[in-house]
Amino acid sequence: MYTVSGGLNFYENYSEIIQSQVEDIKIEGEYTDYVGFHIKRVPCIRRSYVTTEENMLEFVDNINYKKAYIDDALYVLEDNFLIDFKFFNTYGPSRIYTLDRWGYEKQLIDRVNLTLNFEVRLLQTSDKNTKDYILRDIKEIVEDLNDISSLHIPNLITTITNTYRESIEYIEFLGFNDYGPGEQHIYRQEYNVVTGKQDVNMVPEFLTVHTNLDMSPDITINLA
């Protein structure tokens, strides 16, 4: 006979800090109607990310760590306020970020996980590290959790140019996703562009750099 110290949990209960919306719907068939379900606002993970056990374990461990932090905070709260566990949309089509700031029909960007392309001319062709440093900094600028707002490529170019003025002759933006170099501004709207409404249930979005299958950032820097 074996015993487990502290017991064994088969699942973690997230129902107090996170909710998903499910409603029953009628599906009309040729001979009879069926009852189905419309599932909304259910967090999903990119399939290619969880193809390895290591990635899945890291994801689950991080989620459970944050849940434990919230559970501890709820335990010591002495008022009627609750804490929600909200996820950001970081993959796929956007409902908040647009290519144009003004206008009645704003064009949403095709996906919030960005693929970025640049051209850089180094002052010394033997320099092997500057390209990697620039790639790292671009990712950090785009994924700045302290400034979840619009993204302006000219500001990014200025920051990189000033930081590496001793190492590069110039850096040029070539485009993001399937857009050309003419699109250099991504505007964050304060409401859901699809519905035209703003509410507390709106899924927040966060611009990220797309991740390749080997977990490297999808930023291409061509050396001129």
- In the chain, the number of structural domains is 2
What pLDDT digit, counting tens, does each position of 53-70 carry?
Answer: 888 899 889 988 988 888
List of E strands, the chain = 21-28, 33-40, 97-98, 113-114, 116-122, 151-152, 168-176, 185-188, 208-209, 219-223
**3-class DSSP state for residue 171?**
strand
**pLDDT number for residue 104:** 64
205 shares a domain with 129 = yes
pLDDT higher than 80, residue 3? yes
Q: Would residue 1 count as lying in a domain?
A: no
122 shares a domain with 62 = no
| pTM of this structure | 0.77
pLDDT higher than 90, residue 71? no
pLDDT higher than 80, residue 82? no
Residue 155, domain extent: 97-223
pLDDT higher than 90, residue 50? no
102 shares a domain with 36 = no
166 shares a domain with 135 = yes
Burial 123-138 (b: 16+ CB within 10 A, else e): eeeeeeebbeebbeeb
Between CA 203 and CA 192 the distance in angstroms is: 9
What average pLDDT does the structure give for the chain?
86
- Mean pLDDT for 36-62 is 84
Q: Would residue 16 count as lying in a domain?
A: no
Q: Would residue 172 count as lying in a domain?
A: yes
